[in-house]
Structure 1
């Protein structure tokens, strides 16, 4: 396993930065090749190889795969939910074309494993809101969700048709102090900590009782690596796994902050992102991930709030 050579496409995004660092810790700095269309993220500088590559330029990606003798690919580059609604055709093009090109190249180059993230955005308002099952009604209502569900099916297709080992997780909202969010509907749950420390007040773009599934980034990174290291024969789905950690509303995260910053205040000004959030689950059933690869979250809301405030205050 440790002789793997890993390529990360989109290493400077919210997930990419921390996943790159975690994989370098596990596999060695030189075994993990980071790339992004953007310049190298400050947290990645000096930690291992980095190339500025556009994921849509599949010839450049292919050249890198050959040069570095890549065995695993993590395709993280995407336009997220809120950004995608502003430019739906571009979001579809980037999210789908990049995936299909990487899947096709991975078959040709005999890549051992591919990771591609999905999202709770695959679910729509027709999906059961509480304890959303692994197998359920899937009718996404955003271009991001549509592209993610289409992508899940393409990943499953390439596994079944060509024997390509593709793995995926439906991430909930992800919260981190290391890397800033990039145009998602759950971004408020990062921004609220920053504003609590800077101004002791926050105006939330979702209403106070909007419950959404969330996860601290350390858990999401660990889940990703644990899934990728799980024996293939243990995996009973080749769509994407539900994973869960916690669900809370803006009112509840504000209350958790007030335990540390008593004079913090919040008000609410819902915008177009409210409609996106209203179509998503409020909590997730992740029993399949627990059964197949022993998934278990470590962070709840109180532990996450304490960790976020402690690190952002430095």
Structure 2
């Protein structure tokens, strides 16, 4: 009998690259198949890599059969800022591919799915402060519309076909290991790079724009905890809210200046300001804490110290 294996789509992205390393330490590198659209010669990875265009259903089935994949972490997506520039492709990539994996689970070809949603599912009519688990949701972006639709598709497949699909609504994610990838919250990654390299940063959001954020270690821990929890303990049929940190560009710049006193920030807003204005400023994640023990460990102070220390090494500064 072959050992059941894990497939990660979009595995070279911000979440996937770190999740893959964690899963390898738990299950062994030969049981974690990473996939992305990039040519293998451009990928430096210790383990098994498969080229997959997630819009190619037959290729997905081929890889699943080849490696006896039973659990899929489906991370491939077009993020908020990028999807607004290419809405039809953003919808197709974010929606069609989720339905592919839900159908595979319905047909018992795979057993379990993790799929990330986002705070993008909220909108201008949603309470901004301490946003609850199930408020009014009126997303105003292609990304948010696709994620909210995805949540309801997951719920439908759970209730009608007993599909084991699990999901969280990620806030902005911050990591020193991978660069920003086109999201509205990505200023909170890019600012650290610019602080080290140029001692200054021009932010595309206003200085007092508060958004919920999460350090990547806490995000990976959340995924693993959720996936390890007995299904009977999970009471939310859609995606679980995740909070963590909530800060503004101004507050983050003040924290950076404690380590780099000469750092300066300026502001030139663009279309992403309207996106940020439609999102929550803080998140109530009581359900995630109650049902499966979500508990972020990193503060803005601890995160900034970790980011700057490791990026200086990474950038040879």
Q: TM-score w.r.t. structure 2 length? A: 0.96
Residues in 1 aligned to 2:45 and 2:245: alpha-carbon distance in whole angstroms: 34
Aligned to 2:16: 16
Q: Which position in structure 1 is the counterpart of 2:137? A: 138
Residue in 2 that maps onto 1:94: 93
Which residues of 2 match residues 206-245 of structure 1 at below 5 A?
206-245=205-244
CA distance in 1, matches of 2:126, 2:40: 39
1:1-12 pair list within 5 angstroms:
4-12=4-12
Name the residue aligned to 1:292.
291
For each residue in 1:205-239, what CA deviation from the matched residue of structure 2 results, as whole angstroms up to 9, or x when unmatched? 00000000001111111101110111100100121
Asked if 1 retains the 8 angstrom alpha-carbon contact of 2:106 and 2:163, the reply is yes
Query: Hey, what's the Cα distance between the residues in 2 that align with 1:189 and 1:8?
Result: 25
Pairing of 1:1-314 with structure 2 (within 5 A): 4-39=4-39, 45-314=44-313
Long gaps (5+) in structure 2: none
In structure 2, distance between residues paired with 1:224 and 1:212: 21
* Deviation (angstroms), 1:41: 9.5
- 1:80-105 alpha-carbon deviations (Å, 9 max, x no partner): 00000001111001111111111112
Tell me how far 1:182 sits from its aligned partner: 1.1
- Greater shift after overlay, 109-118 or 120-129? 109-118
Does the C-alpha gap of structure 1 residues 41 and 216 become closer, same or farther in structure 2, counting only changes over 3 Å? Answer: farther
DSSP-derived class of the 2:176 partner = coil
**Structure 1 Cα separation of the partners of residues 68 and 4 of structure 2:** 9
Conserved 8 A contact 2:128-2:280: yes
Unaligned segments of structure 1, at least 5 residues: none
Describe the SS at the equivalent of 2:53: coil
User: Residues 264-290 of structure 1: CA distance to partner in whole angstroms, max 9, x if unpaired?
Assistant: 110100110000000000000000000
- Deviation above 3 Å: which 4+ runs of structure 1? 39-42
Secondary structure class of the residue paired with 1:71: strand
Contact preservation (8 Å) 1:12, 1:41: no
Taking the aligned partners of 2:244 and 2:159, their CA distance within structure 1 comes to 30
Q: Residues 64-83 of structure 1, C-alpha deviation per residue, up to 9 Å, x if partnerless?
A: 11111111011111000000
d(CA) in 2 for partners of 1:84, 1:46: 28
Cα deviations across residues 23-77 of structure 1 (Å, max 9, x unaligned)? 11111111110000123597x7342100111011010000111111111011111
* Aligned mates of 1:192, 1:261 — CA distance in 2: 12
CA contact 2:23–2:32 (8 Å) conserved in 1: yes
* Number of equivalent positions: 311
Deviation at 1:244, TM superposition (A): 1.1
Q: Separation in 2 of the partners of 1:46 and 1:144?
A: 29
Q: Distance in 2 between matches of 1:19 and 1:154?
A: 24
Deviations 1:151-184 (A, max 9, x none): 0000111111111100000000001111112110
| C-alpha deviation, 1:110, in angstroms | 3.8
In 2, the alpha carbon distance for the partners of 1:78 and 1:37 equals: 12
Relative to 1, partners in 2 of residues 1:115 and 1:313: Cα closer, same or farther, differing over 3 Å?
same
